[in-house]
Amino acid sequence: ALVADNFFLDLSRERWQQRVARLRTLHGDLVPEGEIEIDNPLRCSWRLCGERGWCNVSLTLAPTMPPRIQEIEIASVLPPDAAMQAALDGLLALIAAPTLRGVGRLFARGVDRAAMR
């Protein structure tokens, strides 16, 4: 077995299968990118890149002989949609060339703009 005896106590095998299937649907095929980062002999992390976004994966081994997977954490990151990308582009342009008018558009309606100068 690859996983520790307690691995499926928090999330069942079926739920893991559903989660992996959902990640494949969201991201497409996932392939490793870059090197595996080793935190210590029992912990590591790496990135899987897909057609749409990526997943950051962290793995913890149980301190048993032989070691078995005790925990897997997967953080799914999707690319921004068109509205978010436009907002990011505007923010980056404003950082590169700030103007009072441009900065003012970032504030919520109730913010005292004079106090922010």
Average model confidence (pLDDT) across the chain: 92
59 closest CA partner among 80, 78, 42, 75: 42
Report the percent of the chain where pLDDT is more than 90. 70
Q: Map out the domains of the chain as residue ranges.
A: 7-73, 82-116
Each residue's pLDDT tens digit, 87-99: 889 889 888 988 8
DSSP 8-class letter at 78: P
Note the pLDDT of residue 117: 67
| pTM for this prediction | 0.73
Q: Which amino acid is at 46?
A: W
Note the pLDDT of residue 100: 78
- The pLDDT confidence band at residue 43, using thresholds 50, 70 and 90, is very high
